Amino acid sequence: MSFSEKDQQLIEEEEKLYYETIELLAEQLPEARSKKIFSNIAARELTSQVVNEWNFEERQPLISDEAVAHKVSDIRKESDNVLEELIAEPYFGRVVTSEDDGREVSFKIGKKSNIEAGIVDWRNGPISGLFFNYKQGEEFFEVINELERSGRIKIRRTYKTDKGILIQIGTEDGMFRRMEQGWVKLESEEEVAAHRSRGINSIEKRLPNILSLITREQFEMITTDPDRPVIIQGSAGSGKTTVALHRLGWLLHKGNSRARAENTRVIVMNKSLQVYVCQTLPSMGVNAVETVTFNSWALSIIRNATGGKAYFKFRELPDFIEKIKFSEGILKAMSRFVDQEKRNSDFAISKEFAAHKALLKIWQDSHLKAIQPRLKDFLHDVGQSDLQEKGKRVALDFVQSLLNAQEDYIGNLFDLLSDKELLTSHLPADPKLEEHLDYLSRLVEKNRGKNHLDYYDMSLMLRLIQLKHGGLPNKEGGIIALDHLVIDEAQDFGPVEFAIMVDAVQDKRHLTIVGDVSQKILFARKFIGWDNILNNLEIKKDDLIQLEVSFRCTVPIMNLARKIEGRNDPIPFGRPGNAITWHRATDQNDYLETLASWTENLLKKDPYKLVALICRYPRQAMELKEELEAMISHEVRVGHRDQFSFEPGVIVSNIHQVKGLEFDAVALIEPSEESYPGKQSESRNMLYVGVTRAEDDLLVIGRNSFSTVFPR
């Protein structure tokens, strides 16, 4: 689209402002680098001073104290690294206000603040709220720095940069994009593509900055009371993960909450989503936050607690065994089991130390402690007691034997899973329950003999450790008590996993939980339901945030997704897009040629698109990669676990690996009735996940009859 002289003037003014900002930032670099050198010296001097002021006994606790670490960190904050980040991407938004007092105020919104360059950190809510909460031309009223400010938003604009070059300007009257031939004004349908994806002929080769896409409603969720849990049920592409990650970024900004980055976690379901989140968080100015899959997090804690003795083996188990191990009933049975273990230890201690009234009282006074720290403390108390040496040795050996028995997590788990009476009293009534428990008991004894653990035992083992310790143990011997926890894809976690995660947070108000029941693909883990989550967190049903509008997918894609869900109501509004392409191949050559041609045409039109070919199984993905490599001119990459690259091109993966991710275009490979049986609810959810990974283009292709889940 051609643009006017007025448009040309706007571009020139924005470029001038942009590069003047770059110059202002660059001018600060020499001083910042000098400060960094001296700050390092100052930090060493501070540490030396601290050490020299205290005697040997007092020295170590002081040196390791967090206050000293934070002080040193504060000294080093003004570094050249921040400036270099800002020079590469100084700001993504700008606001000019016409104030009621006659002033005109201009400021830019970026990932970090820089007063000299007029840049405000997006996490500075009162000021950045003028950008996120209002549109150009709207009247505003805000309290900023305890002062009331009102007026009108004169200018509101968005920007994109790449390696220090301004490549996109978003205005009220349209969007301008830098192409190889120069600046162009985009058509309305191109604007969304330029905003959300890598754009039209974009020179970017990284994940896009999504900060400028935050809506007014999302910003309100992000900046809500830090002592309030945020629970979001949202359809695919509705921005639920965007809100969750940005809320975390806002919470970690100075003054917004007490949460510390190093004591915060993001828990996701799969490795590919972990890669995505790890790449996204730094783009929002969030560093030092650990993103983990639940299983990797669990495994690291278990191996530390067991001294590396626990090894888990994945194998196919009957559905009824999976249902038992992931049930709410086994969670209750486990609590009962641990309580009985406590009573047994209490009885044994009371009997053994009946003649030692002082020690017995110490033991009785500690009844509120979890069993393991209680026994460890009592072991120390016995060692410090005035018992005669011979009697003390006997007493210590006795307490140690009780502690060893409590730390035999593998044996304890086997005992729990073979206790048919206990399990029967907590599991739902079922005519075949006794038969199922007999099978489980035989399986347990077989595993006990080989010292094997099933993969599905991992959550149970972790919960057992948590109950016995009074929390999840950390490597330092303390308890994990997180400042804040983000749980993504909540619908794929069961009661045991939820109990573990909620209890790992110091305060259950400090949770952000997002999910979509339509995207549940791990059916063995029965989702506890949004109502139960709300009840457990003691918040009202009205506080559950529902996000229905998809910002990712076009109207044709979302209408298909709704039909897959079993809904006949089309979406009321959304982003227009291309019709879905359906192709039933006549043979293997037709199948491969059509797929290769579709992929090549997309990348010819825009070489910076990311095209995903999504198979049902990992084996299919590997085979398809080998078949396509010789047929298209672009590299074909396999996306599996942490081997995920989000650079433009072609990626082949499977349905479980792509959940939570998004791509410019998607080809759903061989969605046949065999691979996705219409009678199974899992099929409906997996196909829903598959089609909603696509932002703009969707191809459904196969040689066999398509799944009956698809609408006819």
pLDDT digits (tens, 9 = 90+) for 337-377: 999 999 999 999 999 999 999 999 999 999 999 999 999 99
pLDDT grade for 76, boundaries at 50, 70 and 90: very low
Compute φ and ψ for 189, nearest 5 degrees. Answer: -70, -25
The encoded tokens of residue 366 equal 């500690």
The answer to whether residue 53 scores a pLDDT higher than 90 is: no
Q: What is the pLDDT of residue 568?
A: 82
Give me the pLDDT at residue 179, please: 84
Instruction: Please give the Cα distance from 591 to 575 (Å, whole number).
Output: 30
Q: For residue 371, what pLDDT is reported?
A: 95
Q: Find the mean pLDDT for residues 501-506.
A: 95
Average pLDDT for 132-157: 92
**What element of type H or E holds 7?**
helix 5-27
Alpha-carbon span 354 to 352, nearest angstrom: 6
* pLDDT tens sequence across 538-568: 888 777 888 877 778 899 999 999 999 888 8
DSSP tag of 161: E
**Residue 642, pLDDT above cutoff 70:** no
What is the length of the chain?
712
The angle subtended at Cα 173 by Cα 168 and Cα 177, nearest 5°, is: 20
Averaged pLDDT for residues 370-391: 93
What was the pLDDT predicted at 79? Answer: 56
> Who has greater pLDDT, 104 or 44?
104
What is the predicted pLDDT for the residue at 31? 83
pLDDT digits (tens, 9 = 90+) for 664-686: 999 999 999 999 999 888 899 99
pLDDT greater than 50 at residue 25: yes
Helices (H) and strands (E) in the chain, counts: 26, 22
Residue 402 vs residue 550, higher pLDDT: 402
Task: Please give the span between the terminal C-alpha atoms of the chain, in angstroms, as a whole number.
Answer: 39
Query: Which has more confidence, 283 or 577?
Result: 577
Q: What is the pLDDT, as a whole number, of residue 209?
A: 58
| Reported confidence tier of residue 211, pLDDT bands at 50, 70, 90 | confident
* pLDDT confidence band for 617 (50 / 70 / 90): very high
Nearest to 95 by CA among 20, 160, 12, 154: 154
The answer on pLDDT for 106 being more than 70 is yes
- Whether the predicted pLDDT of 705 surpasses 80: yes
Q: Give residue 50's pLDDT band: very low, low, confident or very high (50, 70, 90).
A: very low
Q: What is the pLDDT of residue 4?
A: 86
Mean pLDDT over residues 683-712, rounded? Answer: 93
Angle at 187 between CA 182 and CA 190, to 5 degrees: 90
Give pLDDT, residue 81.
80
pLDDT at 405 over 50: yes
Give the residue with greater pLDDT, 467 vs 76.
Answer: 467
pLDDT at 438 over 50: yes
For the entire predicted model, the pTM comes to: 0.82
Q: Which residue has the higher pLDDT, 674 or 192?
A: 674
User: Of 670, 672, 687, 668, which Cα lies nearest the Cα of 598?
Assistant: 668
pLDDT tens digits, 477-494: 899 999 999 999 999 899
Q: Which residue from 38, 531, 69 is spatially nearest to 263, judged by alpha carbons?
A: 69
What's the pLDDT band for 43 if we cut at 50, 70, 90? low
pLDDT at position 347: 95
pLDDT tens string 239-279: 888 889 999 999 999 889 999 999 999 999 888 888 888 88
Strand, helix or coil at 234?
strand
What is the full DSSP assignment across 92-126?
SEEEEEEETTS-EEEEEEESS-BTTTTEEETT-HH
Q: Work out the number of other CB atoms within 10 angstroms of the CB of residue 64.
A: 9
Q: Which of 458, 344, 371, 373 is nearest to 410 (CA)?
A: 458
